[in-house]
Each structure stands twice: as structure tokens, then as C-alpha cells.
A and B are shown apart, each in its own frame.
Chain A
């Protein structure tokens, strides 16, 4: 290229560079300002900063109301779920707990973003923490507070690839040996052991009054099972097909879960209930796709989170009766990850 043409090209390149950097920079500046404004704005709901966990029965959740306190752990009394919420100074992506302990999965944003599980006492003081190897997805705590399960998405298993899998493990809150990755448990389907490399386990739920047993979801080669796990036997035994993110009822007789009625690639999850004694499945009428681990409000009512339409990062907790034709109603607005504590 001749020198004159060369200079012209340089000027064009310089102009393009300045233009796009200025454009992207101002977009970022506006977005940052908007975020600052929304964070310092008053909360969209009535909030108070609370002290310890309430003595009376309550619901614990992640507050997603825009404004101050977004993303913080919160509680409302079971008697007044839509009333004023008490927020703790702990940001959690997923939260669960009992009257004495709280498990909080969080994203530590920074130049190197990492993920952590934090155990808190009823004064919200951390009593333990450990790194988890991926993005928080599900967590549960056994009723006596001795066991904690965590499920995270592990990403980036290969150079330049973003393949996904889950990592699920059970940890003892007293510091004793946990299970490690549940993928290392023996997975038994119809009496024979599944050894395929693509086994994935997620969504643990503990069985009331049983310190050894739990239920979870196991998947391999496109098939999905409800598995009953034994901590001492280090086994996962398939007991039903197509059950994801199980949640055992307070009476221990049923499991509520999400059931995929779409395809593997375009999932649509219905809310369903399995009676463990009779193996009878009831699919509820809720038309929306529910991607959450369901929580039992009581033996006849379920709770789950749904993204709020048109509001990125916001969601609501809905309730529905276990009756097949029941219609869902709003339970707690601007909230996510419910845990009912009696």
C-alpha cells in the first residue's frame, strides 16, 4: 500500500477505535450509574435489618427486591409472609436453614470470581466456610442441622470449552467426614451398577428422622432417576424415573419435584408429587415451567420460586396446594430460595 493510502487507513482505524471504545465506555458508565442508583434506592418492599433468627416459625429466603438489601438473606414470620421482612447482612445466591443454623451459598465477585458455602449460626455469625467448585445451584440442610448438601454447576472442564456438569456433596456441620462428590457413590439401577462417565447427581433432600438416608436426582446417558442414597453404604439406588430436584414432605411419605415434559434441550418442568408408598405420581396443573427445588410449606402446600417477568435478577415465591387442579398464588414477592423453619 502506498504511504498516502496507508495514512488514510490509519486514520480510519483510529477513528473506529476511538468511536467504539467511546461508545462501549459510555454504555458501561451509564450501566454502572444505573446500578449504583438502584442499589442505593430505597427497597421496593418494607424491610428492616433484623438481629438473630426469629424465635417463632418463619420463612427464610433470598431477598430480590430492587434497591437496598438486594441479594441479602431475609426472613418473614410464617404468620405474615407478605409483611415486613428482616434482612441479614449476608448476601446469598441460595439459602436454607433450621432454627439454629443457616447454610448460604454465595458468589464472591472479584477479578477472580469464586464460590463459597458459608455456615452461619442463629446470630448470623459464620461458624464455617468452604470453597465450592462452581456456580451455586441447590442447597439443603437436615432438620437437626447436622448435614448440609450443596449442588453447584461446574464449568470449563476443557480448554476453551464450556461443558457443564454438576458437583453435589454432603458436608457434616460438626466437621466430620462428608461424602465428597456424590458421583463417587455406587449408582444402582434395577440392581446393576451404572459406571458411565457422564453420571451427574444434583438436588439432595434429607429424609426427616433418618440420619443416613437422602434422596437426590441422578442422570446418565440422557436418563434421569430419583435415587435413594445411603451415606454409610455409599450407594445411590434408583427408585423412580424422571424425577428432578426432589423434596421430601414433612411427613416423609411423599416427594415433590420438577418433571420435564419438554425435551432435554428445551425443557419444560411441571410440578409433580410422588407417593413413596404407592409409587403414584400426581402432576399439578401449574402451566409455567418451574426450575427450582420445591419446598414444603406444610403437608398440603408447596413453595417454589419463579423468575419475575421482565425484571432481570428478580423473582417471586409462589405457593400451590398439592391437589392436581390447584392454581398457584403469590406467596412472597421479590424473593427466591425459600426455606420453611418451624
Chain B
């Protein structure tokens, strides 16, 4: 019943009957080349950005000393800016009707920031570069996800997102390994790393510019019989009252507030397991590997079983991860179990959220809707991390984790109800 609610058709694909009725025979899954290219763009871009992020702390403490703590503060501000820029970029993409241009601007800005690393000479320069990179990331996400949506077969939307997220995470898992490989060969080889990172960023941007068609959004071919208001050229908060989308924002915001950063989970694991201390960078890579393995299967599941259900079920994996982290267990098993659950959580929620948001948004506001959902999730998770930091120190790691887990257990059925009502609303709209 959650399958393909709205009328997503690819810009250049044949009009197909709106498959509102899941009992109709479905077309076979055909991977759109656009999504493959977007995935490869993301893969190269992630190799580029994650290779630098992985060694940035080493680099900064190497020549900036303790003012690195100030960098941490600025980094928090950057994350906020990046979250807010997403919704603005989504709106710009909808307004222009050409999300590729906006996505290209975002990827281009991040690439330009990598050029800056070659010449960075101090704290402020470095801060400006990192800010540029983060804002670029904020700009590109929503328009890119809009491109994925209009290129995908509607009944296989989540699976297409799964394909993209898998490629994306191959990059995210490769980047840190590449960086440490370069530093293993050349211990002070940061210059080399920045050059290699720039090379991958250039390939990513070139792939996007040359191979991804400039698809239009907003006016789907094979026009759907949906009553539509005149296209809005100003951002309207009323978007958030779109049938369905508002509820998605509420539900994902609620769950986001109970999603403590993985950093904290890694810390809990490090607290009791020396393996986690010694192989700390592997925790991040391990989570990404699980994410990339499960991205497509969980996307398929979301298409078949319901995106809202899979989105909520992903949070059950997160809840189990909290329990496993808080339980008085030690050793390798629980640590690996946590990584698998965390990877499953991301695989079940990241691409599925974008798919769900695009399903619940009218076509002319597609990128804004996706951007709004991602902004809400990013901001609520930031708030969650800040709040959890306080809980951590007042209650201790395990108790704090159990408290958040308890709240999450209560929020899960509530958010499922909210989401189901939202999807129904949208269907009848």
C-alpha cells in the first residue's frame, strides 16, 4: 500500500500508468543510467572528501596544536550551516527546474575547496576551506536526490536510492583507507593526499557535468491527473503542510532527536573494549561497509514492504545497537554486532528517507521537500548529540544510552502511526 503513491516518471521515460494499485503487474527493475552515473559521481566525491576528513585531525594537530579544540567548535557551526543550506538549495533547484545546475554548483564548490587545501597556510584559511566543503555538500544533496527521483521507476524508487547509496558508501569506505595508505608510504605526505583528493573530486565533477543529463523536474512527462497549484517562486512554509510531508518531518524529527551520533556509540564501545580503541578508524569504515552491503536489499524491501515501515524498522536496529552498547558485555562480538546494526540503521533510513520525502512531495517542490526532510533530520540529530553529551556526563554512558533507548522504544510506534497517516493522506490528496 505504500508503493508508488505519486506520479513519478522519469523526464525522458515513457509515460507509464500511475501504478497506484500495487496489484497491477509491475515493470521489471531497470537501473537508470542516470542513477548509476550519479552514484559514481558520489563515489568519487566521497573518496575525495572522506580521505581528507580521515586525516584532518592528524594534519591539524600536526601544525595547529591545541587550537584544534576551537576547530571543533567551528566544525559544529559548519554542520549547522550545511544543514540549513540543504533546504535552500532544494528550493533553488525547484525554482530553476534544473536540479543538475544546483547540484553541479555544490559539487563544484567542494572541488574548489580541495584546491584550497593545496595552499592552506593557517587556521583561518583551513576553516574557510572546510566550511566551503561542507556548504558544497549541503547544496548538492537535495537536488541530486531529486534527480534520482525523477530518473527512477516509481515502483522501484527506494531500490534506486539503494543503488546510489551503495556506490556513495563504497567511496566513503575507500577514502580513509586510501588516505592512510598514502600516509603509510609517505609519512608527512599531506600534500600528496590533497592532490590525490583533488583528482578524485575533479573526476566526480566531470562525470556529473558530462554524463548526467540536465533533467527537468516539476513537470513530469505523462502528466499526472493531480490538481496542482501554480508553481511557487518563493519559499513557502506552507510546503511543510503538504499532505504527508509535514508528518514525515514530524516523525523523522522525533526519531532524529533520539539518534545519538555514532561517535558516542564508538566511545561507549571504546570504553570497554580495547579492540575498539586500537582499531578506532575501522569502526567508521566497518559501519560504512555494512551500509553499502545492505543499501540495495533494504531499498528493495522498502519498495515491497513499505518505505515508512523500513524507515521505522531501521530505528529498531538503532535501538538494538543502543542496548548492545549499554549492556555489560565486553569483547569483539558485541562491538561487531553494534557496527552491523548501525550500518543497517543507515541503510534503512538514509536513502529511504529521501525516497519517502519525494513520494510525499508534489513534483514542483520535489527538491525542497527532500531538502526539508534532510535538514530536519540533520538538525535534530545535532540537537540529539548535544543533549546526549549532557546526559552522558550526568548519568554515565550506559544509563544515558538506556534512557535514550527507552525514549526511542516509545517513539517508534508513535512515529509509525504518524507516518502511516501521512502516507494515507498523500494517497487521498
Chain A residues within CB distance 8 Å of chain B? 1, 9-10, 12-13, 16-17, 20-21, 23-24, 27-28, 31-32, 35, 71, 107, 109-114, 116, 130-135, 137, 153, 155-166, 195-200, 202, 219, 244, 264-267, 291, 307, 312-313
Contacts and interface: CB of A to CB of B under 8 A. Distances in A.
Contacts of B186: 28, 31-32, 35
Interface string B221-260: 0000000000000000000000000000000000000000
B192 A16 contact: no
B67 A31 contact: no
B345 to A, nearest CB: 11
B347 to A, nearest CB: 14
Contacts of B79: 160-161
Interface in B21-80: 53, 56-58, 61-63, 65-76, 79
Contact of B187 (A35, A116, A133, A165): A35
Nearest to A6: B211
Contact of A165 (B63, B72, B278): B72
B180 A111 contact: yes
Contacts of A202: 66
B210 A133 contact: no
B72 A162 contact: yes
A20 B75 CA distance: 30
B393 A197 contact: yes
B189 A35 contact: yes
Nearest to A217: B66
Contacts of B281: 112-114, 156
A265 B70 contact: yes
A133 B278 CA distance: 7
Contacts of A12: 206, 210
Contacts of A23: 195, 199
Interface string B174-214: 00010011111111110110011011001100110011010
Given A13-B211, A111-B180, A162-B72, A313 B188 contact: yes
20 contacts: A10-B210, A10-B211, A13-B211, A107-B58, A112-B279, A130-B274, A134-B57, A137-B66, A153-B61, A155-B57, A156-B263, A159-B284, A161-B79, A162-B71, A163-B76, A164-B68, A266-B67, A266-B123, A312-B188, A313-B188
A24 B280 contact: no
B196 A24 contact: yes
A112 B180 contact: yes
Given A31-B186, A31-B192, A163 B75 contact: yes
